Amino acid sequence: MRRDASFPRITLFNITALMLWMKTYLAYKFSFDIRVDSWLQELILFINPLSFLLLVLGVSLFLTEQKRKQYLFLSSFIISFILFANILFFRFFNDFLTIPVLFQTKNMSDLGGSVTELINTSDLFYFIDLLVLGIIMKIKPEKLRKSEYSNYEKKMLITASLAIATFNLGLSEIVRPQLLTRTFDRKMLVKNIGAYNYHLYDIFLQSKTSAQRAFADSSELIEIQNYIRSKQPMPDEKMFGIAKGKNVIMVSMESMQSFVINRHVYGHEITPFLNDFIQDSFYFTDFYHQTGQGKTSDSEFIVENSLYPLGRGAVFFTHSQNEYHATPEIMKSHGYYTASLHANNKSFWNRDIMYQSFGYERFFNINDYEVNPENSVNWGLKDKPFFHQSIQHLLNMPQPFYAKLITLTNHFPFTLSPEDQTIPAYHSSSDTLNKYFPTVRYLDQALEQFIGELKTSGLYEKSIIILYGDHYGISENHNDAMSEYLGRPVTPFVSLQLQRVPLIIHIPGVKGRKISNVSGQIQVRPTIMDLIGIRGKETIEFGNSLFAENNDGLTVLRDGSFIGKDYAYTRESCYQRKSGELTDRRNCEPFIEKAKQELEYSDKIIYGDLLRFYKEIENRR
């Protein structure tokens, strides 16, 4: 066999590699909507799948002809499945899969309708190449070369694969210096090193982080403590202890974003109750969710610990056995009874395990509620019967208590029974956005009912009520429809503003007000501690009370974006806060490293399980 005759001829290897390469590039452009700003970025996007595909498919060259066919087909199927799994994940979460997410498989049985809602008929395109391969293998066309490959050709393939990978990484470093240190920005990683190489890098990161706990020591926590104490603001003495001895009732409002507050759809008020409720409450108009891939569980983690969630996976799964000094544990030490109420399977998001680590005394789950087909929809028990049945649970608790209630109905895919729809759906290109408004209105009505029942039960005057949105409901994949509803283009800056969620703190008998300071979920825990009069820091926390004086006004999101007093930063661009106009990136640079440092410090605490050293350090002081 002549060396120079193989690769120019048509082979099954060539066909498989070409189809997977083109399919991946088309997925970048149409399913992941990866945008480029220059011809160099387009070149990087085009070539980045190639090195991985040549290397993996190149293994077939070392096999016999029959085994080569089987290997190429199986490899093509696995790669296609990985690509399609990322497409489905991206459609809702606007993110890419990570190793920790793949271990969250026990959530899948509860996802049901959410997954089927994401699948389109056009997705068959991503498996056409498998059909083509099968037909080729079946009919065995004469033009399809059946020769073996020489050692020279095998070496050349491996060399070409490594050369392309090196060239790809070199170009990427030119476009985005220190690319591999920005592990929280998965879109950027996929854009530059490719979807498949990103997964290899993710495996490396998982191996690295798994070893961090074993090599961690108390000196790392001391460094973080010193950083946190250096930015500690003074408390507001007027607010400190203003709710001392009262019950704390906290409601996590599923997928509730701030853009619906005081807004209408076809003349119908979307949240009439909340619009009135905030008039007598402390309402934080510039409050952001800071969740990552864990969504609702991440929001729980943030508000209970004042730590950032992880950039990869959900802390509830990856580090549920860590030592935490969570709100329930601290409240319990100050005489509060602590409970969480959520009408879902107790193991969903690993809550039954994580709540033990948080120090909850009781978890009221689906087994504590009367659930039937008549009072359920979508993810389970509707919010109205959930709140109604929860009142009795609250009445049976010793007082004072700290209770967190997690709603369900306003969850993707925003399915609602016809009898519960009291405002019309929106009409746009996005079925998700269209259905969102009626489910938000249902949640608003459920909250009105809940507050009314708290008053009737006698619990209202004895409690402070905290309502917060857990994460976005409408992802960036629906920006075209959102632009239509908002009446303006959804630029990256507008998209950043859409990460605002409501935070309402209602203290009966205390006059509230609107507060426009930039803030985030990481500040909820220290705010609760201030209000009920727990003096000083009892553990490590990155947030400060929302009522503290001289807060630095910098809110960091899990993807590295941030919002400050004058500037906001997202997707490598700096914006003026007031106008939303692009400005010189140098205006944001003093805060970019600070944001990165906060995220890295918080990650160190979780990966290293550093809070296990806290008492040891405090005893030495």
Give pLDDT tens digits for 1-37: 444 444 455 688 888 999 999 999 999 988 887 878 7
- Summarize pLDDT for 116-132 with one digit per residue, the tens: 667 778 888 888 888 98
Give yes or no for a contact between 131 and 233, defined as CB atoms under 8 angstroms apart.
no
Q: Does one domain contain both 240 and 206?
A: no
Q: Does one domain contain both 239 and 152?
A: no
Q: Which of 559, 388, 401 is nearest to 471 (CA)?
A: 559
In a domain, 219, yes or no: no
The pLDDT assigned to 232 comes to: 78
Which entry of 183, 271, 291, 296 is annotated as an active-site residue? Answer: 296
In a domain, 65, yes or no: yes
The pLDDT assigned to 146 comes to: 55
Q: Which of 230-239, 542-551, 578-587 has the lowest mean pLDDT?
A: 230-239
Rounded CA-CA distance 47/41 in Å is 10
Q: With a cut of 80, say whether residue 374 has pLDDT above it.
A: yes
Q: Does one domain contain both 427 and 533?
A: yes
Rounded CA-CA distance 621/609 in Å is 21
The pLDDT assigned to 1 comes to: 42
Q: Which of 310, 316, 321, 320 is nearest to 297 (CA)?
A: 316
The pLDDT assigned to 501 comes to: 98
For residue 413, say if its preceding peptide bond is cis, omega within 30 degrees of 0.
yes
Q: Which of 98-107, 324-333, 412-421, 523-532 has the lowest mean pLDDT?
A: 98-107
Q: Does one domain contain both 150 and 280?
A: no
470: domain CATH number is 3.40.720.10
Domain boundary among 152, 175, 210: 210
Q: Does one domain contain both 178 and 235?
A: no
Give yes or no for a contact between 303 and 468, defined as CB atoms under 8 angstroms apart.
yes
Q: Does one domain contain both 343 and 308?
A: yes
In a domain, 222, yes or no: no
The pLDDT assigned to 156 comes to: 87
Q: With a cut of 80, say whether residue 282 has pLDDT above it.
A: yes
Q: Which of 374, 373, 354, 372 is nearest to 363 (CA)?
A: 354
Residue 384: pLDDT band by 50, 70, 90 thresholds?
Answer: very high
Residues 6+ apart with CB under 8 A from 530: 235, 236, 239, 240, 241, 545, 547, 548
Q: Does one domain contain both 524 and 478?
A: yes
* Structural domains in the chain (count): 2
- Summarize pLDDT for 187-213 with one digit per residue, the tens: 788 888 888 988 888 888 777 767 787
Q: Over the range 264-291, which residues count as b (16 or more CB within 10 Å of their CB) and which as e?
A: ebeeebbbbbbbebbebbbbbbbbbbbb
Q: With a cut of 50, say whether residue 386 has pLDDT above it.
A: yes
Domain boundary among 210, 240, 268: 210
In a domain, 218, yes or no: no
Q: What is the largest CA-CA distance in the chain?
A: 91
Rounded CA-CA distance 257/469 in Å is 6
Residue by residue, what is the 3-state secondary structure of 469-495? ECCCCCCHHHHHHHHHHHCCCCCHHHH
Burial class (CB in 10 A: 0-12, 13-18, 19+), 57: buried
In a domain, 216, yes or no: no
Running DSSP on this structure, what letter comes out for residue 350?
G
Residue 114: pLDDT band by 50, 70, 90 thresholds?
Answer: low
In a domain, 607, yes or no: yes
Residue 296 a catalytic site member: yes
Q: Does one domain contain both 205 and 231?
A: no
Encoded amino acid at 15, one letter: I
Cα angle: 110, vertex 112, 113; to 5 degrees: 130
Q: Does one domain contain both 203 and 256?
A: no
| Range of the structural domain that residue 26 is part of | 3-210
Rounded CA-CA distance 260/441 in Å is 9
Lookup: tokens for 196: 């498949």
Residues 6+ apart with CB under 8 A from 228: 540, 541, 542
Residues 6+ apart with CB under 8 A from 374: none
The pLDDT assigned to 115 comes to: 63
Q: Over the range 101-127, which residues count as b (16 or more CB within 10 Å of their CB) and which as e?
A: beebeebeeeeeebeebbeeeeeeebb
Q: Does one domain contain both 273 and 130?
A: no
Task: Work out the average pLDDT over 97-103.
Answer: 70
In a domain, 217, yes or no: no
Rounded CA-CA distance 487/482 in Å is 8
Q: Which of 180, 188, 176 is nearest to 204 (CA)?
A: 180
Cα–chain center distance at 349: 13
In a domain, 189, yes or no: yes
Domain boundary among 158, 177, 210: 210
Q: Does one domain contain both 151 and 280?
A: no
Rounded CA-CA distance 2/149 in Å is 10
Give yes or no for a contact between 301 and 290, defined as CB atoms under 8 angstroms apart.
no
Q: Does one domain contain both 250 and 184?
A: no
Cα angle: 255, vertex 258, 264; to 5 degrees: 100
Rounded CA-CA distance 376/197 in Å is 43
Give yes or no for a contact between 417 and 410, defined as CB atoms under 8 angstroms apart.
no
Lookup: tokens for 7: 């690769």
Residue 178: pLDDT band by 50, 70, 90 thresholds?
Answer: low
- Summarize pLDDT for 476-487 with one digit per residue, the tens: 889 999 999 999
Number of alpha carbons in the 13 Å side-chain half-sphere of residue 456: 9
